[in-house]
Structure 1
Amino acid sequence: MSDSEGQIRNFLVVVDDTPECRLAMRWAARRAMRLDGGGGVVLLRVTEPPDFQHWMGVGELMREEAREEAEQLLTNLAKELLEGTTLTPQFVIREGDLAEQVQSVIDDDKSIRILVLGASAESGGPGPLVKRFAGERSGTLRIPVTVVPGTLSRDDVDMLS
């Protein structure tokens, strides 16, 4: 849905190679489609800076490879998203600390209205971003956070979104 200024309302999904990321993306896309006037999905992939500083050329090559892998992941996720919706997601690729980059994207893009995170179904906890943004920092964000449990099936996500 567009807000009173005509700006689209976007759902920000932090993506990686995990199954819970795909569930979060599906939830966000289905919610965005249900908004009056439509909404959008922004897929964020954050890469680690290269840890190899001895030769600048090697570090740059590592950075380029990480970006290419991020672009491929985002392209594949967009194809999945397009199978069940009419949405074309926006891609954002950042390099650096994951939590800092998520916060930066939220601060920089006022069209982002909800942060959607997938929670790991593993016994090690829901994941560092869920702990940080749905726990420690949840009261400091300018937007709500939605946590999609990794234990849900696709049908569950469809029913809940």
Structure 2
Amino acid sequence: MKTYRPKQAEIKREWYIVDAKGKTLGRLATLIANVLRGKHKPYFQPDMDVGDFVIVLNADKIKYTGKKETDKLYQFHTNYPGGLKVRTLKWMLENKPEEVIRLAVERMLPKNKLQKRFMKRLKVYTGETHKHQAQNPKPIDSIVPMWKNF
């Protein structure tokens, strides 16, 4: 018996919407990463791009536990001598709240050629509005019923 491999024309991409208000950052990022990869589909293949689009609203209203506000650090380098920059979670939420969710999801995806493709399908917004009404996004509860418990 052969393993079923979906053709590119057979892959149907859906749009899902997530409200991040009051949701824990790590649990939210895990759910988004799984939907972007397509792990909820019966024909999921780890080496194929079969995932869906995800819209995240209220990125600035996520919840975190413990002392992460001051202890969690985001580091990057400017590629200049002495260019190491360090930002706390508090600073990131005040200045770049979309980047917090984007980095959390990106770091949960596999580090291979598909990672950029997955990240292109993630749309993160700070407010209640988005510009993807024409795609008729469904709530994420329709594929992950346990999401209500987070």
TM-score, length-scaled by structure 2: 0.42
Greater CA radius of gyration, 1 or 2? 2
